[in-house]
Structure 1
Amino acid sequence: MTPRTALTIAGSDSGGGAGIQADLRTFFAHGVHGLVALTAVTVQNSLGVQGFTELPPDVVTAQIKAVASDMGVNAAKTGMLASAEIIRAVAKTLDELGSAFPLVVDPVAASMTGHALLREDALEAIRTELFPRATLITPNLDEVRLLTGISVVDTASQRAAAEALLAFGSRWVLVKGGHMTGTPECVDLLSDGREFISLTGPRYETQNTHGGGDTLASAITASLAKGASVPDAVAAGKKFIERCVAEAYPLGAGVGPVSPFWVLPQSS
């Protein structure tokens, strides 16, 4: 049988731990066929990002239209979009396609080592162009602060951040709590403005978390592509990323990647 399809609109990670590489691995692990619209090429390894080159916006949109018109898209996610011009082009293309499929927006603003992955004018374009079109947005706490000015330090400020982000127009928001300090567990908050759902999971003592945000967003997207509701897709995605972090491995001299290899049968 032909599998469902999920489209990632994101940048490439030369180290293979994040970006479209993480997205495609995660789609495969969920039995979903991955489609790609590449936005940028990064130069990076386990020690961090040394730079990036973005693709022309018309090339990005041509990729989206090519796969959508021929293969169909059951769900899509955005990752690194690099510039306001690319963001506006993606938003326009989604409108032209009718946006009939769920869209997960992971507002990738900086690498985990602090290297900027967005041009300076791009944050406002994400707020005004992409968030109103999103089924779900999945910011980490650093991105919450950049987008809203709110520093999340406890459950009260996490809820305030969710409300502030929803005001930009997305249907749902997932405020990830992985970067919150002083908590024995990792608590993410999912909300549509009416429901506020706390999802609690273990916090693992590992530095190897490269690609964790991309993997979570693409796991959610894969479940949405197969018809799951947003709460069910997020719950399944959280369980998936927890296992990926538990199975993360060292690679290189810096931060290793989270691992989806646990889904594969063990070799003899």
Structure 2
Amino acid sequence: MKNLLTIAGSDCSGGAGIQADLKTFAAHGAFGMSVIVSVVAENTSRVISIQDIPPRIVADQIDAVFEDIAVDGVKIGMLSGAEQMKTVAERLRFYRPGGVVLDPVMVAKGGRALMHPDALETLKAEMLPQAFLLTPNIPEAEAITGLEIRAVGDMEKAAAVLRNMGPRYVLVKGGHLEGDAVDILFDGEEIRAFRTERIPTKNTHGTGCTLSSAIAANLANGMEVSEAVGAAKEYVTTAIRHALQIGKGHGPTNHFYNLYKNGGLLQ
């Protein structure tokens, strides 16, 4: 069993953040650990408040994990402020874990900003060079690159710009475009598109967290990058197709659908 660490915010409603990450790790047969950088009071409809964890406590959580447990993969999600980013980057440089998957979370599904605007330059300078794989959605890719993305060709251009900022691989997610859900993976030489049918549902809370965590788990389990991305996209598509009718807004995906089905728990 692989040991995976998520460094992200906490979603008390359970659909996104470290809760989604830990569920995804478990669904992939991995042991999940977490470093909480922010406590987010949110549900399927809105974000009520955010409390950032002091950088010293963030660093202590990272140290507590790495000094005792072998870490086979790291997923990084919500980092709300520059100080949290600098702290995480410094500890990553110290411990040098492999296969870091960075999901640059900026806005909640309900529209609330989850990253301070003045932290964008710190994200680019401190965090992007730490990423083995970067997984921005279209608004995040636009914010980081300054480009306008309206088509798959624009996604390819953005992926090239993003890769020059430090990540080894870039996966630009196309869920905000119309038509099929197309994601673009770029390794500096080859562009590969991953296409699935768009599922008509509002229940997509935590899909970005889930996808990036699934990729991290697949990498830790020995898959090559393109295989890891393809399998993760298939996993999250199934989780969306069988999303849970929970809450009044954007419900969560079904992280354990395949496990429950294969275990005979679903009729």
Alpha-carbon deviation of 1:87? 0.3
Corresponding residue for residue 53 of structure 1: 51
Query: How big is each residue's C-alpha offset from its partner over 1:53-109, in whole Å with a ceiling of 9 and x where there is no partner?
Result: 000111111111111111111010111111100000000001111x13210000001
Instruction: Indicate yes or no: 2:104 matched with 1:107.
Output: yes
Q: Deviations over 1:19-48 (max 9, x none)?
A: 000000000000000011110100111111
User: RMSD value over aligned CA atoms?
Assistant: 1.0
Alpha-carbon offset, residue 120 of structure 1:
2.0
Counterpart of 1:70 in 2: which secondary structure?
A: coil
Contact 2:135 2:212 in 1 (8 A): yes
Which runs of 5 or more residues in structure 1 are unaligned? none
Alignment of 1:171-210 (within 5 A): 171-181=168-178, 183=179, 185-210=180-205
Question: Partner of 1:11 in structure 2?
Answer: 9
Partner of 2:69: 71
Moved >3 Å (runs of 4+): none
Which structure 2 residues correspond to residues 118-267 of structure 1 after superposition, within 5 A?
118-181=115-178, 183=179, 185-262=180-257, 263-264=259-260, 265-267=263-265
The residue number in structure 2 matching 1:26 is 24
User: TM-score with structure 2 length normalisation?
Assistant: 0.96
Q: Is the 8 A contact 2:74 2:97 kept in 1?
A: no
Counterpart secondary structure, 2:162: helix
User: How far apart, CA to CA, are the structure 2 residues paired with 1:155 and 1:177?
Assistant: 8
The AA in structure 2 aligned to 1:144 is A
**Which TM-score applies when normalising by structure 1?**
0.96
Q: 2:176 is aligned with what amino acid? A: H
Q: Which residue of 1 aligns with 2:84?
A: 86
Alpha-carbon distance in 1 for matches of 2:190, 2:166: 16
Mapping of 1:31-46 within 5 angstroms? Answer: 31-46=29-44
User: What letter matches 1:200 in structure 2?
Assistant: R
The amino acid that maps onto 2:111 is G
Count of aligned pairs between the two proteins: 263
Where does structure 2 lack aligned partners over 5 or more consecutive residues?
none
Q: Identity of paired residues, percent?
A: 41
